[in-house]
Amino acid sequence: MLIYISRRLLWTPVLLFLAGLLIFSLGSVTPGDPAELMAGPRADPESVNRIRERLGLNDPFMVQYLRYISNALKGDFGESYRYRGRAVFELLGPKFRVSLELNIVSSVVALAIGLPLGFWAAMRQGTWKDPSMTNFMLFVYAMPVFFTAPLLILVFALWLDWIPVSGWSGMFSRQAVLPAITIGLPGAYAFMRYMRASTLDVLGQEYVRTAHGKGMGQLTVNTRHVARNAMIPIVTILGFSLAGMLGGSLIVELIYGIPGVSRLALEAVFQRDYPILTALTLLGSGMLVLANLVADIMYSVVDPRIRLRA
């Protein structure tokens, strides 16, 4: 196991390097020149060239990327093309935090809905309630945010006037409620399925039957043994859901006017702001790889069989 983890740890920087390279190289495929974008409309060729020099855009592609990476290691993710003179990190940092916060609350909502429902469904396996609940949650899961987000705004912000329409003031503010539900509700489906499967697993285990045999009450068995043990494997996928949601919050952030990374990211896509895109990729990939790693370790901690196998 240790060897496995250390091998993964060694692979991680290589993976990030290659993922960054993938995005960075796309920049050279596009026609057009970031220097022209930076110089603005109708700038003279001379000043465009000056900018090109300053950014090192005349260098060979690999040189540019290696320079970018070596600077990134020092914490300098370069300078945005669109926001002249702004460090990418300075631009991205606060927005990344907001997106992260949004995804954390959303995950909490997803867990809070998904886990009890999954447990509930598993306990009713064999009745009509189990598949009905699963299907209903799938129905919710498939609901496009283009519909949920405006619907929630219309009902809760405009008609009932309970919650502000837009903005963000931290994950514990009222503004967080609607976006968290918008992302968390469909997200609950995955948790529900895992919880259901995991609960069924536990229900089939020896010790649950033993507990019943010892004459423990149904409720005690359920809470003390089944639910608790069933939740353990869920921990391992939590990281994934966090890392994966970052993409999912794109449209939600736009509709709710949340100052997360989405606007910056889209703007960067359209304006070919590759320093920002590469930094975003490195951050996003980094999180996903980290989640992978944590999941691996968790798995071995939670499930001793894996440790033995290794």
Partner 1 sequence: MFRNLLITGASLVALFAIACAGAEPTATPVPPTATPVPPTATPMPEPTATPEVERESASVAPTATAIAAATQEAKAQATASAEETATASEQVETVEDSEPEPAARDFDPRAGGVFRLLGVDPTTLDPALTTDSTSYELVVELFGGLMRLTDDPNQPIVLDLAESFEVSQDGTVYRFILRENLVFSDGTPLTASDVKWSWERAALPETGSPIVKEFLGDIVGINDIVDGNASSAEGITVVDDTTLEVRIDAPKPYFIAKLTYPVTFVVSRDNIESGGGSWTDSPVGTGPFVLKDYEIGVSMTLARNERYWDRPAYLDEVQFNLVGGSALAMYENDEIDISGIPTASFERVTDPADPLYDEVVDVPPEFFTHYIGFNSDLPPFDDVHFRRAMNYAVDKELIVEAVLQSRVRAAYGPLPPGFIGFNPDLERLEFDPDKAVEELNMSKYADPETRPRIVLTASGTGGSPSAWLQAVADMWARTLDVQIEFQEVEWATFLQEIDNKQLQLFSLGWSPDYPDPHTFVDVLFRSDSTINPTGYANAEVDALLDEATTEPDPARRIQLYQQAEQIIVNEATWLPMFWGADGKVLVKPHVNDFRFSPLGGYFFKDVWLEKDVDF
Partner 2 sequence: MNRSEKSPASEIDYVDALDLEARDGFIRHAWNEIRKRKLAMFSVCVLVILYSIGILAPIVATHDYTETNLAKPQAGPDLENWLGTDRLGRDIFSRVVWGIQSTVIITVITVLTSSALLGLAFGMAAGFLRGTVDIVISRAGEVVAAVPDILLVLIIAATVRPRIKEFGYWIEDNTFISGVISSGAIDFIVLGIAFLPLSWFGAMRLIRGQTLVIRQMPYVDAARSMGIGTPTILLRHVLPNVITPLIVSVSFGMGAIALGEVVASFFGIGVQPPRPSLGVMIGDVTARTGSAAVETLRNHPEQLLSPIVIVWMMIFCWNAIGDALNDILNPRAR
- Position 274 contacts partner 1 (CB under 8 A): no
Choose between 231 and 280: whose C-beta lies nearer to partner 2: 280
Residue 267 interacting with partner 1 (CB under 8 A): yes
Minimum Å gap between C-beta 46 and partner 2 is 26
In the region spanning residues 86 to 115, those forming contacts with partner 1, defined by CB under 8 A, are 86, 91, 94-95
Chain residues binding partner 2 by CB under 8 A are 11, 15-16, 18-19, 22-23, 26-27, 29-31, 131, 134-135, 138-139, 141-144, 146-147, 149-151, 153-154, 158, 165, 187, 190, 193-194, 196-197, 200-201, 233, 236-237, 240-241, 244-248, 250-251, 254-255, 265-266, 269-270, 272, 277, 280-281, 284-285, 288-289, 292, 295
- What would the two tokens of residue 38 be? 């930076």
Question: Of partner 2, partner 1, none, which one does residue 297 interact with (CB within 5 to 8 Å by kind)?
Answer: none
Q: Which amino acid is at 205?
A: Q
Q: Minimum distance between the CB of residue 53 and partner 1, rounded to whole angstroms?
A: 13
To the nearest whole angstrom, how small is the minimum distance from the Cβ of residue 90 to partner 1? 8
Question: Residue 42 or residue 309: which is nearer to partner 1 going by CB?
Answer: 42
| Secondary structure (DSSP) of 259-278 | -SHHHHHHHHHHHT-HHHHH
Residues 157-186, interacting with partner 1 (CB under 8 A)? 157-158, 161, 164-168
Contact indicator for 302, 231 with CB cutoff of 8 Å: no
Q: Are 114 and 191 in contact (CB under 8 A)?
A: yes
Over the window 44 to 83, marking each residue x when it contacts partner 1 by CB under 8 A and - when it does not, the resulting string is x--x--x--------------------------------x
The entry of partner 1, partner 2, none near residue 37 (CB within 5 to 8 angstroms by kind) is partner 1
> What distance in Å separates the CA atoms of residue 309 and residue 103, rounded to the nearest whole number?
35
Q: Which burial class, exposed, middle or buried, applies to 293 when counting CB atoms under 10 A from its CB (0-12, 13-18, 19+)? A: middle
Query: 167 vs 217, which CB is nearer to partner 2?
Result: 167
Is 266 among the residues that bind partner 1 (CB under 8 A)? yes
Question: Which of the 8 DSSP states describes residue 286?
Answer: H
The binder of 26, among partner 1, partner 2, none, by C-beta within 5 to 8 A per type, is partner 2
